[in-house]
Amino acid sequence: MSKNGVLDKSLGFSTRAIHQGHRAADHHGALNPPVYMSSTFAFETAEQGGEIFAGEREGYFYTRISNPTLGLLETRLADLEGAEAAVCASSGMGAICSAIWSLVEPGDEIITDGTLYGCTFSFFRESLQKFGITITHVDLTRPEMLTSAVSEKTKVVYFETPANPNMRIVDIEAVAKIAHTVDATVVVDNTYCTPYLQQPIALGADLVVHSATKYLGGHGDLIAGAVIGHADLIHQVRLVGLKDMTGAVLSAQDANLILRGIKTLELRMERHCDSAEIVAAYLESHPRVTKVYYPGLESYEGHAVAKKQMARFGGMIPFEIEGGLPAAKKLLNSLDLITLAVSLGDAETLIQHPASMTHSTYSAEELAEYHISEDLVRLSVGLEAVEDIIADLENAFNAAYDATTVDFENQRRRA
Ligand SMILES: *Cc1c(COP(=O)(O)O)cnc(C)c1O
């Protein structure tokens, strides 16, 4: 351990996730960093206060701008993403809005794929367009489409990969290269992967945004977000988007819970990936499942690009089933262990129906255009014993489709 608590970047992911930026000796030997529950910070003299406000002297003065507990989390997140700096926010949407508001002005264009987290989609389509910002949807799974779409009006290219909810895979390196020909800022929502599975900055992205509510927190007990990237951009997001435009500051208590969560991020992600691979194979072989959207499956269209940029394939498995909405509802209502809830990345396995839940912000036409069908259910594979997860799915499939009908049809198929 170095003198000031700064660990070398060559150390392992978990080592840095657990230790980076904290030296017990500086805190009365406390193993865990103290939580600074303070909205304001006292100045020693009026002169010193003035200098801190003017940016001429380092120091804390008000938690909406910075706080030592938030600062430690920011240090760790920046380090894990391989970036210079980070700023945390009170939600993923707070992080996304703070970043975007800092980057655009009326007349500018944002290019984005059509598939996005539902609230990000409506923030772009409704809220931002109201302020004179143009949103152009381009199929970013085909980077060549971006080449003819970009212009000097394009200020931001924004995407998720894998995208929520249907796991579209975007080639980060290829898209960043094209976006940079017009100096657009490339923003990647890395919520589904966490820095353990994918590091967009190293592939050319300028900013990474997270819903820390999901895998980073990892325990379903908080709402939080973060923006991570180059120091000058983060400075701008902190002092404009976060401080003045959204005020979406994270609480020190929640920052502390995320610091605790990311100590086990590597362990949890490995387990999510192990179990998801087994569940995806089970679903792919199930006669009632018509399509499994899991990038780890060789049959999946985004597999090759996913393999290039992701360490493993994550814990999210959307899949489509026979019988449309009525069958989907029956399946969800027949589950016992698996919890019917939105959100993802928790210890508990969660399932939901995007078209009527997380992506109900899309109109019926938009759902059709961006391939979010009524048959699609989205599974977030948790940390329970994988055989129990599969047994629960099997029971629910049997209940949803009268078991005798399945047998009859299987016999007919074999005959
Ligand atoms: C949940 C989520 C968000 C929004 O995050 P909140 O913490 O709920 O505000 C943004 N992007 C993705 C991919 C998400 O899953």
Structural domain including 386 reads 266-414
Examine the residue annotation and report whether 300 is marked as an active-site residue of this protein.
no
For 97-151, the pLDDT digits (tens) are 999 999 999 999 999 999 999 999 999 999 999 999 999 999 999 999 999 999 9
Mean pLDDT, the chain, integer: 95
| Same domain, residue pair 333 and 359 | yes
Examine the residue annotation and report whether 414 is marked as an active-site residue of this protein.
no
φ, ψ for residue 141 (rounded to 5)?
A: -75, -10
CA 90–ligand 1 middle distance (angstroms): 11
- On whether residue 296 sits in a domain, the answer given is yes
CA 211–ligand 1 middle distance (angstroms): 4
| Same domain, residue pair 302 and 253 | no
Q: pLDDT band at residue 411, thresholds of 50, 70 and 90?
A: low
pLDDT at 359: 92
Terminus-to-terminus CA distance in the chain, angstroms? Answer: 68
Residue nearest to atom 9 of ligand 1 (CA): 92
- On whether residue 1 sits in a domain, the answer given is no
- On whether residue 4 sits in a domain, the answer given is no
- On whether residue 337 sits in a domain, the answer given is yes
Index of the ligand 1 atom closest to the CA of residue 224: 7
**End position of a domain, from candidates 263, 294, 316:** 263
Section 349-364 average pLDDT: 93
Is the pLDDT assigned to residue 403 strictly greater than 90?
Answer: no
Examine the residue annotation and report whether 401 is marked as an active-site residue of this protein.
no
Strands (E), 254-349: 289-292, 316-321, 339-340
pLDDT at 307: 98
- On whether residue 7 sits in a domain, the answer given is no
- On whether residue 225 sits in a domain, the answer given is yes
pLDDT at 149: 98
Is the pLDDT assigned to residue 413 strictly greater than 80?
Answer: no
- On whether residue 31 sits in a domain, the answer given is yes
Instruction: Report d(CA 227, CA 320) in Å as an integer.
Output: 33
| Same domain, residue pair 218 and 322 | no
The CATH number assigned to the domain holding 238 equals: 3.40.640.10
The CATH number assigned to the domain holding 360 equals: 3.90.1150.10
Q: Best substitution site from 88, 119, 249 to test ligand 1's pocket, by max atoms within 8 Å of Cβ? A: 119
| Same domain, residue pair 406 and 282 | yes
Domains contained in the chain, number = 2
Helix or strand (DSSP H, E) at 226? strand 225-229
**End position of a domain, from candidates 240, 263, 286:** 263
Per the document, the length of the chain is 415
Is the pLDDT assigned to residue 195 strictly greater than 80?
Answer: yes
Section 341-357 average pLDDT: 96
CA 229–ligand 1 middle distance (angstroms): 18
Spatial contact of 288 and 407, defined as CB atoms under 8 Å apart:
no
| Same domain, residue pair 99 and 57 | yes
CA 271–ligand 1 middle distance (angstroms): 22
| Same domain, residue pair 220 and 295 | no
pLDDT at 407: 52
Is the pLDDT assigned to residue 52 strictly greater than 90?
Answer: yes
Q: Average the pLDDT over each of 44-53, 221-230, 395-404 and give the range with the smallest value.
A: 395-404
| Same domain, residue pair 68 and 198 | yes
Spatial contact of 48 and 41, defined as CB atoms under 8 Å apart:
no
| Same domain, residue pair 143 and 184 | yes
Q: List ligand 1's pocket residues with C-beta within 6 A.
A: 91-93, 117, 120, 160, 164, 189, 191, 211, 213-214, 223, 225
pLDDT at 402: 77
Q: Which of 117, 293, 300, 370 is catalytic?
A: 117
| Same domain, residue pair 168 and 227 | yes
For 263-309, the pLDDT digits (tens) are 999 999 999 999 999 999 999 999 999 999 999 999 999 999 999 99
Among 90, 68, 86, 70, residue whose Cα is nearest residue 78: 86
Q: Are strands 154-160 and 339-340 parallel, antiparallel or unpaired?
A: unpaired
Instruction: Report d(CA 301, CA 66) in Å as an integer.
Output: 43
Q: Which of 79, 113, 171, 189 is catalytic?
A: 189
Is the pLDDT assigned to residue 415 strictly greater than 80?
Answer: no
The tokens for 284 are 């792919």
Q: What is the CA radius of gyration of the chain?
A: 23
Q: How would DSSP label each residue in 78-92?
A: HHHHT-SEEEEESSH
Question: CA 238 → CA 52, 88, 297, distances in Å?
Answer: 16, 9, 40
| Same domain, residue pair 67 and 202 | yes
Beta bridge partners, 226, equal 88, 210
% the chain with pLDDT above 70: 96
Task: Name, of 5-14, 182-191, 320-329, 405-414, the range with top average pLDDT.
Answer: 182-191
Q: Angle of helix 265-284 relative to helix 386-400, nearest 10 degrees? A: 40
pLDDT at 297: 97
**End position of a domain, from candidates 227, 248, 263:** 263
Section 351-369 average pLDDT: 92
Residue keyed to tokens 């100096």: 183
| Same domain, residue pair 377 and 246 | no
% the chain with pLDDT above 90: 91
| Same domain, residue pair 220 and 277 | no
- On whether residue 290 sits in a domain, the answer given is yes
Q: How would DSSP label each residue in 353-378?
A: -TTTTTTTTS-HHHHHHTT--TTEEE
CA 37–ligand 1 middle distance (angstroms): 26
Q: How many CB atoms lie within 10 A of CB 149?
A: 18
Q: Which of 16, 155, 214, 238 is catalytic?
A: 214
Is the pLDDT assigned to residue 3 strictly greater than 90?
Answer: no
